[in-house]
Structure 1
Amino acid sequence: VADELIQIQKSARLDFQEGRFDEAEKSYREYLKYRPQSVVCLCNLALVKMATKRHDEAQILLEEAIAIKSDSGIAYYLLGRNFFQQGKLEEALERLAESIHYDPSNPKAFNCVGVISSQKGYVNRAEEAFSEAVKLDPDFGDAHFNLAVLYATREKPDPNRAAEHYNKAVLLGVPRDTAIEGYLEAAKVTTVSLR
């Protein structure tokens, strides 16, 4: 049975990665027949539901995972992402805070908190969250990019810090952004003309 379960898991993961969500769901459900208490499998099945925009079903699966393991940082993280995808920002922030409480080393959770906080206008909270994300994972390109945007668009822009994080993000493979590059170029011209 153990070897069969490993194969089911591999098959489900590959199906998910290649966008074959129905097949992935079938495999994860097969796995759950043998291991109904598998928090990892419930979370993976919830990811399938999220990818196919079946958010209510994803929420049920994630709440089931949390009922099995109440300190599952990943289940709270995914529940936060699920709420975020539906535009339920307050619920998303609450679940992400719980995720961080149980798993303070997840840079993606901090990045999500930063994105939601910046959307809600909580600039300081966003900066703290993005900064924590890049502290936990210095090679997290999206978090560097988000910091660059934050520094470029805040009430008192900081072009030096925006450039630092933008350049790091681009080096890490984040696509170039003409708006930020335009801002940085304009900031450079302004700085030169003031001298």
Structure 2
Amino acid sequence: MDKNQTGIKLMEEGNWEEAAKMFTEAIEETPTDAIPYINFGNLLSAVGNKEKALDFYDKAIELDEGAAAAYYCKGNVFYELENFTEAQQMFEKAYRCGLETGDNFFMLGMSLVHLNELRLALPYLQRSSELNEDDAEVSFQYGLCLAQENYIDEAIKQLQRAVSIDPNHADALYNLGVAYGFKEEANMALEMFNRALEVQPDHLLAGHGKKLIEDSGL
């Protein structure tokens, strides 16, 4: 196992100091290799030093302009800092460098969602859902985006998929209730609100939705 792999294993174990030592040694031994800089950046990001992490990702890109992982990791930092424009640009660069993973498509789509570019976000979230078939959050966010663009039937399919993966996804259940309400299927809407409240009794929006239906007498 090389020092990069050892460092990653130490990170997974929460042994930050020893991981940092491994990555430092890897950098010293192969100073023109982008990978240990990316790994050290990931370590710094994990412990909350986001700005310093960006310096390491930039160094990796300086060494290898095609380092897709560096752009992806940099995009994650910008996303966490709520700089969604920069995040979008980094995820796009990662994609252009060949990173066609479900996670990169998802983060690109979510960056566009935060920038209120929902229609542009849809194809990326769709591709992410195709690649991450068992990820409830991906299906949920894709369904939510579809609903916001008034593709209600398609949204219901994705929200149902999210619930089938994670039956305790209260927000997916709530939004299913909203979608059924939009289609004037009151019984289904009420069932979804009730299920959301079973999972999360303090879900205020589900409680409000349930009360609206019950008060309407439908």
Q: Same fold (TM over 0.5)?
A: yes
Select which of 4, 9, 15 maps to 1:9. Answer: 4
Superposed CA RMSD in Å reads: 2.4
Amino acid at match of 1:168: R
Contact 2:84/2:114 (CA < 8 Å) preserved in 1? no
Asked if the contact 1:105–1:136 (Cα under 8 Å) also holds between the matched residues in 2, the reply is no
Residue in 1 aligned with 2:192?
A: none
Specify which of 92, 114, 118 is matched with residue 119 of structure 1: 114
For 1:44-63, what aligned pairs fall within 5 Å after superposition? 44-63=39-58
- Once the two structures are TM-superposed, the CA of residue 191 in structure 1 deviates from its matched residue by 4.0
User: Greater RCO between the two (CA within 8 Å, min separation 6)?
Assistant: 1
Aligned residue in 1 for 2:16? 21
2:59 paired with 1:69 = no
The verdict on how the C-alpha distance between 1:141 and 1:103 changes in structure 2, with shifts beyond 3 A counting, is: farther
The answer to whether the Cα contact below 8 Å between 2:10 and 2:18 also exists between their aligned partners in 1 is yes
For residue 150 of structure 2, what is the aligned residue in structure 1?
Answer: 156
Cα contact 2:4–2:22 (8 A) shared by 1: yes
In the TM superposition, residue 57 of structure 1 has moved relative to its aligned partner by 1.5
5+ residue gaps in structure 1?
1-5
Q: Which moved more, 1:19-28 or 1:94-103?
A: 19-28
Question: C-alpha deviations, 1:74-118, integer Å up to 9, x for none?
Answer: 111111111112122211111111111111512212111111111
User: 2:87 is matched with which residue?
Assistant: 92
Tell me which amino acid in the other structure corresponds to 2:14. Answer: G
TM-score calculated relative to the size of structure 2: 0.74
Counterparts in 2 of 1:187 and 1:79: CA distance versus 1, 3 Å = closer
SS for the counterpart of 2:75 is helix
In the alignment, structure 1 residue 167 sits paired with structure 2 residue 160: yes
User: Could you tell me which amino acid in structure 2 is paired with residue 167 of structure 1?
Assistant: Q
Distance (Å, rounded) in 1 between the aligned partners of 2:39 and 2:133: 26
CA distance in 1 between partners of 2:25 and 2:163 (Å): 41
In the aligned structure 1, how far is the partner of 2:10 from the partner of 2:88?
30
Residue by residue over 1:45-94, the C-alpha shift from the partner in whole angstroms, topping out at 9 and shown as x without a partner, is: 11111111212211111111111111111111111111112122211111
Cα distance 1:137–1:179, how it changes in 2: closer, same or farther (>3 A)? closer
| Structure 2 portions without partners, runs of 5+ | 188-218
User: Kindly tell me: are residues 46 and 91 of structure 1, through their superposed partners in 2, closer, same or farther at Cα, counting changes over 3 Å?
Assistant: same
Size of the aligned set, in residue pairs, is 186
Aligned to 1:185: 177
Distance 1:183 1:136 in 2: 23
Counterpart in the other structure of 1:33: 28
Conserved? CA contact 1:15–1:24, under 8 Å: yes
